[in-house]
Amino acid sequence: MYLYNSATHKKETFTTHTPGHVEMYTCGPTVYHYAHIGNLRSYIMEDVLEKFLRYEGWDVHRVMNITDVGHLASDADTGEDKMLKGAKREHKSVMEIAKFYTDAFFADCEKLNIKTPDVVEPATDCIGEYIKIVSGLIDKGYAYLAGGNVYFDTSKLGRYYIFNDHDEEDLAVGVREGVEEDTNKRNKNDFVLWFTKSKFEDQALKWDSPWGVGYPGWHIECTGISLKHNGEYLDIHCGGIDNAFPHHTNEIAQSEAYLGHPWCKQWFHVHHLNTNSGKMSKSKGEFLTVSLLEEKGYDPLAYRLFCLQSHYRKSLVFTWENLDNAQGTYQKLIRRVAALKDGGGAVDQEVVGQYKEKFIQQVGNDLNTSMGVTALYDVLKAKANDETKLAILRDFDQVLGLSLLEKAAALREKEAAQTASTGEGGFTITGEGDPAIDALVLQRAQAKKAKNFAEADRIRDELKAQGIEVTDTKDGAVWKRI
């Protein structure tokens, strides 16, 4: 596959340290709140990347951290710990908050068909790793103690790597609005590896260390977890573009200084999801979560399709109108797949092979997911029998993760169940084909016919208590679950 590498700023052939094997690392969520759909865009695109690599035949080992300590409200090592902030807001302990929002994150992932990485490691489980690395960095002269904290000394590096998307001058900590300069730092880009002197007294999680009781900085966590599970050579590191600086920049600095050799070969950054008023964030505007989309009647997979329709290296603008379009497209797509009939005919393997080859070529060109979606329509229009089309769609969906065949089967079942069942006296009941409910609906109709309105109302209430809403139409009664 060809993939844009944000470390070299060009599209390259994807290669790995060990042929055929991929060590992949993803920056996971900071679990102090629900993930918003902008965060989830990154996880969707990283999921497609992992699935495509597997589809192409790579053996992928993917690791993700869960940030449950040390990520300060400002990336410049200042401000309050986001976890502690969440705990205060909800009057819970930090660990309760972490557990709750970790579960919520994976529930969202499941709804979006995002596979759980092979290894998921909470930051608080690897304190020993960080202490080992920070000690190593001090021994090698890359870190210093000041004001009780341990800092990484960026002046000791041959180069302090900055991704292309950022201008180093703009990042001078002291000039960033609202950021207080840390006077312990020897150089503006130095960062904290280990805190013992926190500006806030009530840091909930603290551990013993050679430098005093404290807690790790945010950046060291990804280096520690990746070295523990991916080994010394990382093939691809993924994250949102907002992590490029300072988080990934600092990961490179400390990892390469510690290891003494190049660390990660490829960097994969997913760009922002914007609203009309700018970058989506938790702090401004409507807080868009998967649950909110569901409440508004959207299928989370329509949002996944919305993300797949555009390239991961372009900002994507979210509006309700855009999501409506994606939902409409998704429903029509499912309807077309549902119309294909598996009559037990032979799958034409030659045609499958041709389409597969084209799909690998197109999606393999810097993860061009919109071409992957277009490929689905090419299959639907293909001159091939339905069995062959279904086989190709099933195959492509291993990468795209749109549950096409499952949703199509569910649609067919629903429609079959909704075909009207005719009760006594020609009274038509339309619902989900539940005989017990149909019987009650019929009883209600009979009560009404006999002008026993009290009984009819009683049955309506009984149905309502079961979560069933009945609507009378000129052709009979229609019921649905509410």
Min separation Cβ 264 and Zn ion, Å: 11
- Tell me if 302 contacts Zn ion by CB under 5 A: no
Instruction: Kindly state the DSSP code that residue 346 receives in the 8-state scheme.
Output: P
Task: Provide, rounded to whole angstroms, the least separation between the CB of residue 104 and Zn ion.
Answer: 20
> At its nearest, how many Å lie between Zn ion and the CB of residue 26?
8
Half-sphere exposure of 149 (CA within 13 A, CB side): 22
Any bridge partners for residue 471, and if so which? 478
Residue 64 binds to Zn ion (criterion: CB under 5 A): no
**Could you tell me which stretch among 19-27, 121-129, 223-231, 380-388 binds Zn ion (CB under 5 A)?**
19-27
Backbone angles phi, psi at 443, to 5 degrees: -55, -40
Stretch in the footprint of Zn ion (CB under 5 A) among 24-32, 160-168, 181-189, 339-347? 24-32
- Contact segment (CB under 5 A) with Zn ion among 3-11, 91-99, 219-227, 389-397 equals 219-227
Of these, 60, 222, 280, 338, which contacts Zn ion (CB under 5 A)?
222
Q: Write down the H helix ranges in 207-366.
A: 218-229, 249-259, 290-295, 300-308, 320-338, 349-363
∠ Cα 213 217 223 (to 5°): 120
Q: How many residues bind Zn ion (CB under 5 A)?
A: 2
CA distance 92 to 179: 28
In the Cβ-directed half-sphere of 260, how many Cα atoms lie within 13 Å?
Answer: 5
Closest CB 215 distance from Zn ion, rounded Å: 16
Q: Which stretch binds Zn ion (CB under 5 A): 109-117, 218-226, 313-321, 464-472?
A: 218-226
> Please, which residue, 224 or 364, has the CB nearer to Zn ion?
224
Task: Determine the 3-state secondary structure of 89 from DSSP.
Answer: helix
**277 φ, ψ (degrees, to nearest 5):** -100, 10
According to the binding rule CB under 5 A, does residue 27 interact with Zn ion? Answer: yes
Sheet with 273-275, side-by-side order of all strands: 278-279, 273-275, 316-317
Closest CB to Zn ion among 222 and 399? Answer: 222
Q: Of 21-29, 154-162, 378-386, 473-481, which segment contacts Zn ion by CB under 5 A?
A: 21-29
Q: What's phi and psi for 145, nearest 5 deg?
A: -100, 135
User: Judged by CB under 5 A, which stretch of 5-13, 30-38, 190-198, 217-225 contacts Zn ion?
Assistant: 217-225
CA distance 234 to 2: 18
**Are 404 and 334 within 8 A, CB to CB?**
yes
Q: Closest distance between Zn ion and the C-beta of residue 461, in Å?
A: 54
From the CB of 188, what's the least distance to Zn ion, in Å?
Answer: 21
Smallest separation (angstroms) from Zn ion to the CB of 243: 6
How far apart, in whole angstroms, are the C-alpha atoms of residue 356 and residue 163?
Answer: 35
Would you say 135 or 243 has its CB closer to Zn ion? Answer: 243
Q: Which residue lies nearer to Zn ion by CB, 40 or 222?
A: 222
Query: What span, in angstroms and rounded, lies between the C-alpha atoms of 181 and 185?
Result: 9
Q: Closest separation between CB of residue 138 and Zn ion, Å? A: 22
Nearer to Zn ion, 142 or 267 (CB): 267
Closest CB 144 distance from Zn ion, rounded Å? 23
Least CB distance to Zn ion at residue 237 (A): 8
The separation between CA 89 and the C-alpha centre of its own chain, rounded to angstroms, equals: 24
Binding pattern to Zn ion, positions 69-108, x when CB under 5 A?
Answer: ----------------------------------------
- Which residue, 203 or 250, has its beta carbon nearer to Zn ion? 250
Are 266 and 12 within 8 A, CB to CB? yes
| Cβ proximity to Zn ion, 258 vs 396, nearer residue | 258
Q: What is the DSSP letter of 103?
A: H
**Residue range at the interface with Zn ion (CB under 5 A); choices 206-214, 220-228, 322-330, 438-446:** 220-228
The dihedral region occupied by 287, where left means phi > 0, alpha psi between -120 and 50, and beta the remainder, is: beta
Choice between 117 and 401, CB closer to Zn ion: 117
**Residue 480: strand pairing partners:** 469
For residues 223 and 242, what is the distance between their CA atoms, to the nearest angstrom? Answer: 18
Tokens of 477: 């009664």
Our CB check for Zn ion shows the closer of 87 and 222 to be 222
Which residues contact Zn ion (rule: CB under 5 A)? 27, 222
